[in-house]
Amino acid sequence: MSVLQEIREAVIEGQAKVVVPKVEQALQEGIDANTILHDALIDAMGEVGQLFEDGEFFVPEMLIAARAMSAALEVLKPQLVEQGIEPVGKVAIGTVKGDLHDIGKSLVAMMLEGAGFEIINLGVDVSPEKFIAEIKNGAQIVAMSALLTTTMPNMKLTIDAIKDAGLRDQTVVLVGGAPVTAAYASEIGADGYAPDASAAVRKAKELLGV
Ligand code: B12
């Protein structure tokens, strides 16, 4: 089995203690961080989702797989984040209210950080008020993640709250997450959507004109 396959298997089995040294080994073997991320880690989480859908995995298995993935991301972070010098803009990022999915949002935060954005990571289960407080603190971009069809509407609620606070004109709203589409993004009045973390960086730069 190749080291990438070993990482993939270990993430699915939730073995963080195996994943971390294997990721280090892969880096030492000269495998690119992006390849490890996509071909082993993200691929593994897709499989975990499928196993959950098939009734073979339950929440605890999903959770330990997610922990293994997060541990691996910490190892990859220095490679994925090549610090920009001047901050190109300030982003308040979070997973919307009611939603506890953290990984995709953190990955987007890491890539934006690597592209030189200043990141305010609000975590998960973030209320509209928290996003609004960061706009008042100077965030130009609000980046929202949702992984559940039931929490996607909270993106719209947040956009509406930003409007009600009179801050919509000065804020760029970027949305994403597995169930979110470009069509949904425009339907709820977001400024942009991106399907993955690198596209999120391109979109954020394009929207700020930097
Ligand atoms: C891990 C996981 C969990 C973990 C999360 C742990 C953690 N720390 O994050 C735990 C166990 C907590 C969990 C819980 C639940 N989960 Co869950 N989970 C997953 C799983 C397997 C992987 C998600 C993941 O991390 N993917 C990897 C990352 C890298 O991908 P990503 O998040 O999509 O992010 C990428 C893009 O979407 C994009 N992106 C993400 N955010 C943003 C933001 C912006 C601004 C932009 C531009 C782009 C962007 O860029 C990212 C990088 O490329 C998915 C399956 C799946 N295929 O998505 C189910 C899944 C999302 N979960 C699901 C469900 C049902 C649940 C629960 C309701 C289960 C339950 N019965 O309790 C709970 C809900 C808890 C809650 N209130 O949030 C369903 C959702 C179904 C639906 N249609 O809504 C899924 C799809 C599984 C399934 N196939 O049924 N889950």
* pLDDT one-digit tens code per residue, 41-63: 999 999 998 999 999 999 999 99
Closest CA to 157 of 77, 81, 96, 74: 96
Six-digit token string for 59: 């929440």
pLDDT reported for residue 83: 55
Ligand 1, atom 11, lies closest to the CA of: 63
Residues 91 and 109: their CA atoms lie apart, in Å, by 9
Half-sphere exposure in the Cβ direction for 155 (13 Å, CA):
32
What predicted TM-score, i.e. pTM, was given to this entire model? 0.91
Region 98-116 average pLDDT: 90
pLDDT at residue 188 is higher than 80: yes
Q: Given pLDDT bands bounded at 50, 70 and 90, which one contains residue 12?
A: very high
Cα-to-centroid distance, 148 and ligand 1 (Å): 7
Cα-to-centroid distance, 86 and ligand 1 (Å): 32
Q: Given pLDDT bands bounded at 50, 70 and 90, which one contains residue 86?
A: low
> What tens digit of pLDDT does each residue of 14-34 get?
999 999 999 999 999 999 999
pLDDT at residue 13 is higher than 90: yes
pLDDT at residue 84 is higher than 60: no
Q: Ligand 1 pocket test: which of 11, 62, 158 has the largest number of ligand atoms within 8 Å of its C-beta?
A: 62
User: Among 16-25, 104-113, 159-168, whose mean pLDDT is lowest?
Assistant: 104-113
pLDDT reported for residue 116: 80
Region 81-108 average pLDDT: 88
Q: Is ligand 1 within 6 A of the CB of residue 149?
A: yes
Residues 204 and 197: their CA atoms lie apart, in Å, by 10
pLDDT reported for residue 85: 55
